[in-house]
Amino acid sequence: MDKSKYLIYCFLGFSLFLLLFVLATFKINDPDTIQYLANGRLLFAYGLHANFCSFNYLHIACQQAYIHEWLFYFFTYVVYLVGQWNGLVLFQIVLVIATFIPLFLIAKKYGYSILSAGIFFLLAIFVGMDRFMLRADLFGLMLTTWAYFIIRYYIETKFYDKKGYKKYLIPIVLFFIQAVWTNTHASFYLTFLFIGAYFFSYCISFAIEKWKHNKKVNFLSQKFYALFLIFSLTLVGSLLNPFGLGAFFYGFSFLKEFGSILKYTNLEWMSPYTPSDFYFLSTYSITLYKFILVPVIIIPFFVFKKIRLTDLFILLAVLYLSVSYVRNTALYALFIALIMPYYLDEFINSLGTYLEKTKKLLLLILVGKLVCMSVLIIISLYIAHDVVINNFYIMDQQTRRFGFGLSENVFPAGAATFVEKNNIGGNMFNDFGIGTYLNWRFYPSRKTFIDGDTFSPQGFILYHSITTGKINYNVAARKYGINYFILNHVSADTGSLIQSLYRDKKWKLVYFDELSVVFVANTSENKGIIKKYSITFDKTNNYNLNRLPTFKEPANMGIGYLNRGVFFSLLGLNKDANKEFQYAVKYSPNNFLAYSGLGTSYFQLGKRNQAQVNLQKALDLGSNFAPNYFNLGVYYYITGQYDLAQQQFNQTLVLDNTYPKVNYLIGLIYQQQGDTADANTHFAKEQEITANTENEQKELNASVNFP
């Protein structure tokens, strides 16, 4: 191999590893990680007899995810005890890198070209990065790739034909992996998928061989016994759970029990093709996930004679899982990287064979390979640089920040400290998203109303009914002894409740920062706290419009002012909101949400020219975000520019065909133009969308019993 080609190979390997490393290195920002710590602390205190449903004071039966995750709680808490938050980030990095090692081992073992392996490796990194946070399912992903590698190596190299005890080494390793897996994450069922794929492929190959040659073929071959052995050991390993045999079947019943509510509580359980902006995920991840479906379909078509049945079964299975739930897109991308380089190599080799007589074209293919590898290197290094300086995350509207420690822009640390410092008593009402952090900070001295990890359908319906006003919050406060509300004002489900509390004389706002608010009951017991900390924005007391109280990192300044601007808009304080949005744009000049908020606030202040400029800027920066089109469309509609408004509304529906009120506004435009037929069509579509939403809610309510 000449030196230039060798150097490119080395640079490509280095750049891909560097990109993987920096994308795995970000401050702890996932609420599930915090709940693992709370559960781990409980596990250390009480052992497996700990009540993992004890964090909420409602005493409603909770999810039993701990059945399959208890060992990961142990691992996580031990790492925290040893290395604190930095140790957890390091643990996260190790798991991510370990997940990708089998991709390298298989590429090396089966001789995949550096180009083919590099292309799919890079795609797997980008699509999989949304699952890099320290969760039990990251540990499950790591075990998934290793289990697949071990099974594939054992079967395809005929390791089972070795003499003596050596042929049992791999099955024993697989047994221990499965035993750990079944106690760390419910994805352990995937091992049966891999074994089943090889078994079905074996059966079909046997049938074809018997039919084609019409001769006796021994079905009970060494390969059959090898498959039976690893299946048996995998099954035994899957049953080794201290919570009993029922733990094996809990994974099957989970989706049936919680399926109707998961899409309301976590968008990860929606299909990636569901009309949604998936604002919690990387835009790049979703886009590239859909992109890789194309080569996966096209490339094997040109080398269909080379298709292996095992690969086909596995790819179809993980494709189904990824199409069903967006949380599985990383799983699909990883298996594309494990399997597809073989087919890309075959395609390139077939093309080379076809063009072997044309030396110029063969030279063109060689140059093309080198150019492609160079492009992969440039992309990897460029993105790695942007990740390190946080531009990548800010541009992609993510809360992740490169580095070690605990993220300051996700958890209500300031509000929790305020509650502890002032020893606020009684029960709290907290929002769904911050419950896990409050469990970690407060338990057992204080219990939460709900959290996003141990919640039950009944608890969530009750919570949802209170936040939406179906159950009056004052009625709930009397029934459950609620003395204070601690809410994340950035959350989509707290806006209406915060508006009501702020205007209700029975409650007083005593704490406000970039993320959270605390309201206490206006009672004699809270008189001292109210007198000292009461916040009324029209009098500008106990807060500073020009300074962020808790965000200190430069990368978070823009999002901090943006969050406060949205909060002031919620309360109708448009002048204050406008000022905060101006700060947001100053510190985050590429954040389309900041421009969207600024444009909206200008419009509310009657400054239409500034409104249009900033709404258009938001659209230019975020052309894949449906609300940007809708907001600009509303501006055009109100200003009487109906043709321009309709263009924006139509584009909104392209991105999200169930976006609320869009069809209604289009109908109004047609109605004003005298087109009654088209107007009625869009009115009917709007009614259908509204009816579907209401029916889903009714079905959800009917599926559970209120406490």
Check pLDDT > 70 for residue 214: no
pLDDT at residue 355 in the model:
61
Q: Which residue is associated with the tokens 């090692």? A: 101
- Dihedral angle sign, alpha carbons of residues 612, 616, 617, 618: positive
Percent of the chain with pLDDT over 70: 89
408 vs 323: which has the higher pLDDT:
408
Pairwise CA distance, residues 500 & 507, whole Å? 9
Instruction: Dump pLDDT digits (tens) for 406-418.
Output: 999 999 999 999 9
The whole-number pLDDT of residue 707 equals: 42
Closest CA to 501 of 538, 467, 541: 467
For residue 71, what are its two tokens? 């060992």
Q: 10 Å Cβ neighbour count for 537? A: 17
Q: How far apart are CA 10 and CA 368, in angstroms?
A: 18
User: Model confidence at 298, in pLDDT bands (50, 70, 90)?
Assistant: confident
Residue 356 has pLDDT above 80, yes or no: no
Q: Which CATH number fits domain 411-543: 3.90.550, 3.40.50, 1.10.10, 2.60.120?
A: 3.40.50
Indicate the SS3 state at residue 510.
Answer: strand
User: pLDDT band at residue 456, thresholds of 50, 70 and 90?
Assistant: confident
DSSP state of 571: T
pLDDT classification of 704: cutoffs 50, 70, 90: very low
β-strand partners of 485: 429, 519
Report the pLDDT value the prediction gives residue 327, as an integer from 0 to 100: 85
pLDDT reading at 174 higher than 80: yes
| pTM over 0.75, yes/no | yes
Residue 253 binned pLDDT confidence (cut-offs 50, 70, 90): low
What are phi and psi for residue 224, nearest 5 degrees? -60, -50
Query: 376-412: b or e for each residue (b if 16 or more CB lie within 10 Å)?
Result: bbeebbebbebbeebebbbbebbbbbbebebbbbbbb
Residue 267 has pLDDT above 90, yes or no: no
pLDDT above 90 (res 540): no
One-letter amino acid of 296: V
Residue 242 confidence class, pLDDT cut points 50, 70, 90: very high
**Judging by beta carbons within 10 Å of its beta carbon (0-12, 13-18, 19+), is residue 294 exposed, middle or buried?**
exposed
* Angstrom distance (rounded) from CA 630 to CA 681: 19
Q: How confident is the model at residue 324, as a pLDDT?
A: 83
> At residue 335, what is the residue type?
F
Q: Residue 182: which of 246, 133, 128 has the closest Cα?
A: 246
> CA gyration radius for the chain?
28
Would you say residue 703 has pLDDT above 50? no
Phi, psi torsion values for 427, nearest 5 degrees: -80, 150
**What mean pLDDT do residues 543-567 have?**
92
Taking the C-alpha atoms of residue 686 and residue 678, their distance in angstroms, rounded to an integer, is 13
- Range in 130-144, 295-309, 353-367 with the lowest mean pLDDT: 353-367
Q: List the structure tokens of 688.
A: 């259908």
Triad 243, 249, 254: Cα angle to 5°:
100
Is residue 702 pLDDT above 60, yes or no?
Answer: no
pLDDT of residue 7: 81
Domain boundaries, the chain: 3-395, 411-543
> What's the whole-number mean pLDDT along residues 139-162?
94
> What would the pLDDT profile of 469-527 be if each residue is shown by its tens digit?
999 999 999 999 999 999 999 988 899 999 999 999 999 999 999 999 999 999 999 99
Distances (CA, A) of 69 to 72, 73, 76, 91, 405: 5, 6, 11, 16, 23
